[in-house]
Amino acid sequence: MYHVGQHRFHHHPCLHCHPHSYIRMVQHLIERCLLLHMNRGQCVRALAHHASIRPLVTLTGLIISLSSLTI
């Protein structure tokens, strides 16, 4: 099952129905933010505004993404 965010026409995987797909999507979006040289605050705001991803989810994903880059 995929849910449509409020006033959004893009289909996003649901965190509860498809957690693996949701996490991969968030990680991909975070990586795109990093490629655009966005800082943490900009990334959190952009994902909250454009993809309706909660800031806590984005911050958790940022920690995971950045830790995988340093290994």
Number of folded domains that form the chain = 1
Helix axes 40-51, 19-35, angle to 10 degrees: 130
For residue 1, with 0-12 CB atoms within 10 Å meaning exposed, 13-18 middle and 19 or more buried, which class applies? exposed
pLDDT > 70 in the chain, percent: 70
pLDDT in tens, 19-36: 888 889 999 999 999 999
- Predicted TM-score (pTM) of the model is 0.67
- Asked if the model's pLDDT at residue 3 lies above 60, the reply is no
**CB 12: neighbour CB atoms within 10 A?**
19
d(CA 55, CA 43) in angstroms, rounded, equals 9
Domain of 33 in residue numbering reads as 2-70
Tokens found for residue 41: 């605050």
